[in-house]
Amino acid sequence: MELNTIEWKKDTLVLLDQTKLPNDIVYVEVQTVEKVWDAIHTMIVRGAPAIGVTAAYGVYVAIQHFEGSVTAAKEEVQKQVQYLATSRPTAVNLFWALERMEQKALQIDTNDLEMFQDILLQEAIAIHTEDIEINRSIGEHLLTLLEDGQGVLTHCNAGALATTKYGTATSPFYLAKERGMSFKVFADETRPRFQGAMLTSFELFNAGIDVTLITDNMAATVMAQGKVQGVIVGCDRVAANGDVANKIGTLGVAILAKYYNIPFYVATPTPTIDLHCPTGADIPIEERSVDEVLKPTGQYVAPADVKVYNPSFDVTPAALITAIVTEKGIIEHPTEEKVRAIFN
Ligand SMILES: CSC[C@H]1O[C@H](OP(=O)(O)O)[C@H](O)[C@@H]1O
Pocket perturbation via mutation, ligand 1, pick of 41, 92, 93, 157 by most ligand atoms within 8 A of CB: 157
Question: Cβ(39) to ligand 1 under 6 A?
Answer: no
Question: Collapsing DSSP states into helix, strand and coil, what is residue 261?
Answer: coil
CA of 246 to the centre of ligand 1 (A): 7
Backbone angles phi, psi at 139, to 5 degrees: -60, -40
Q: Is the pLDDT of residue 57 over 80?
A: yes
Rounded to the nearest angstrom, the distance between the alpha carbon of 56 and the centre of ligand 1 is 18
Contact 32, 61 (CB under 8 A): yes
Residue 276 has pLDDT above 80, yes or no: yes
160 within ligand 1 shell (Cβ under 6 A)? no
Give the Cα-Cα-Cα angle 138, 258, 222 (nearest 5 degrees): 85
Dihedral over Cα of 87, 84, 272, 208: its sign: positive
Percent above pLDDT 70 for the chain: 100
| Tens digits of residue pLDDT in 147-179 | 999 999 999 999 999 999 999 999 999 999 999
pLDDT for res 48: 97
The annotation status of 48 as a binding-site residue, yes or no, is yes
Q: Report the mean per-residue pLDDT for the chain.
A: 97
Cross-strand pairs, 213 = 187
For 110-127, what is the mean pLDDT? 98
Mean pLDDT of 90-106: 98
Kindly report the CA angle at 124 between 120 and 126, in degrees rounded to 5?
Answer: 110
* DSSP state letters, 1-18: ----SEEEETTEEEEE-T
| Atom 7 of ligand 1, residue of closest alpha carbon | 47
Measured CA to CA, the distance from residue 93 to residue 135 in angstroms comes to 14
Number of alpha carbons in the 13 Å side-chain half-sphere of residue 272: 35
Residue 305 bears catalytic tag: no
pLDDT score recorded for residue 203: 97
Alpha carbon distances (Å) from 14 to 11, 166, 199: 10, 19, 18
How large is the ipTM?
0.98
Could you tell me the pTM of the whole model?
Answer: 0.97
Query: From the CA of 47, how far away is ligand 1's center (Å)?
Result: 4
247 in contact with ligand 1, CB cutoff 6 A: yes
Nearest to 153 by CA among 220, 94, 71: 220
At residue 1, the pLDDT reads: 72
Q: Is the pLDDT of residue 2 over 90?
A: no
